C-alpha cells in the first residue's frame, strides 16, 4: 500500500480504542483494571488522559463481560462523555476488532492497552505527528538489556544486535482504513496491532515512547506502578 498523507473531511479526527478485556490471570486474584493507583483506578488513568485530550473525538472502551457494569459505573462517576463501552473477545485481537467496529467518522485510530496507565498527551501528540506521513506509528523504547535468542534446551542460538532492538508499547496510531483492513484480513494470531498492519506489507514507523509507560501484567508490575503514580502526583 503506498504511503500517503491523511486526507478527507475527517482529517485530524481521532478515535481511540482502549483494550481492557483481559482477565488478569497473572495478578493473583486481583482485577488490575480496578486496582487503586494513586487514588484512582488503574483503568481511569489512561481513559482520563484521552477524555481531556482535545484531539480525541471518541473513546471506545473494550471490557470483558464481567467488567461491563463496573465500567459503566466508572464512566458515570468520572464524567467520561466521549466513552462508549463494548464487550471484548477471546483474544486481544478479537477485542480490538470489536472496538474498531464502534469507531465513527474518524480518519485516525489510536489503540492503547488499558493496562498501561501512564499514557501522556505528549505520547499521543508525538504519534500523531508521525502518522500524518506514514499512516502507522508505534510508541517504543530502545531495549537496554542484551537479548539472547534461545535454541533447543535453552541453549543460546544467537545474540541479537541490541542497538536495533526496540520494545513496542502502546499507543499505536493508524489511519482508519489501514488498521480496519489489517484486522479484516487477519488470520494469524498477533500480539500487537503493528504486527497486523505489517502483514499487509505496510511500513510502520517507531517513535520514542516512555520507560515509565509500563504494562501492568503481574503483582510486581502493580507495585512498580504505584511507585510511579506516587512520584507522578508529587511532580504534578
Residue 9 has pLDDT above 60, yes or no: no
26 falls in which pLDDT band (50, 70, 90)?
confident
236 falls in which pLDDT band (50, 70, 90)?
low
79 falls in which pLDDT band (50, 70, 90)?
very high
Q: What is Dmax (Cα atoms) for the chain?
A: 56
How far is Cα 135 from Cα 31, in angstroms, rounded to an integer? Answer: 35
Contact 116, 131 (CB under 8 A): no
How far is Cα 30 from Cα 13, in angstroms, rounded to an integer? Answer: 36
Residue 12 has pLDDT above 90, yes or no: no
Q: Model's pTM, two decimal places?
A: 0.92
Q: How far is CA 196 from CA 22, 45, 209, in A?
A: 19, 27, 20
Phi-psi group of 79: left, alpha or beta (phi > 0 → left; psi -120 to 50 → alpha; rest → beta): left
65: β partners: none
Place of cell 478527507: 8
Mean pLDDT in residue range 14-40:
89
Amino acid at each position: 500500500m503506498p504511503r500517503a498523507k491523511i486526507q478527507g473531511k475527517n482529517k485530524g479526527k481521532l478515535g481511540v480504542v482502549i483494550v481492557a478485556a483481559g482477565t488478569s490471570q497473572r495478578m493473583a486474584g486481583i482485577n488490575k483494571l480496578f486496582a487503586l493507583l494513586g487514588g484512582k483506578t488503574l483503568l481511569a488513568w489512561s481513559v482520563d488522559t484521552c477524555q481531556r485530550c482535545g484531539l480525541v473525538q471518541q473513546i471506545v472502551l473494550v471490557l470483558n463481560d464481567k467488567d461491563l457494569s463496573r465500567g459503566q459505573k466508572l464512566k458515570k462517576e468520572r464524567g467520561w462523555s466521549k466513552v462508549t463501552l463494548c464487550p471484548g473477545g477471546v483474544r486481544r485481537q478479537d477485542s480490538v476488532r470489536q472496538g474498531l467496529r464502534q469507531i465513527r467518522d474518524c480518519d485516525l485510530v489510536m489503540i492503547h492497552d488499558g493496562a498501561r496507565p501512564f499514557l501522556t498527551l505528549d505520547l499521543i501528540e508525538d504519534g500523531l505527528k508521525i502518522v500524518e506521513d506514514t499512516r502507522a506509528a508505534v510508541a517504543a523504547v530502545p531495549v537496554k538489556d542484551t537479548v539472547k535468542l534461545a535454541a533447543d534446551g535453552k541453549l543460546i542460538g544467537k545474540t541479537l544486535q541490541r542497538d536495533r532492538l526496540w520494545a513496542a508499547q502502546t499507543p499505536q496510531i493508524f489511519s482508519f482504513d489501514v488498521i480496519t483492513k489489517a484486522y479484516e484480513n487477519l488470520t494469524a494470531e498477533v500480539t500487537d496491532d503493528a504486527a497486523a498492519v505489517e502483514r499487509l506489507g505496510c511500513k510502520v514507523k517507531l517513535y520514542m515512547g516512555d520507560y515509565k509507560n509500563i504494562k501492568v501484567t503481574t503483582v510486581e508490575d502493580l507495585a512498580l506502578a504505584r511507585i510511579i503514580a506516587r512520584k507522578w502526583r508529587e511532580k504534578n
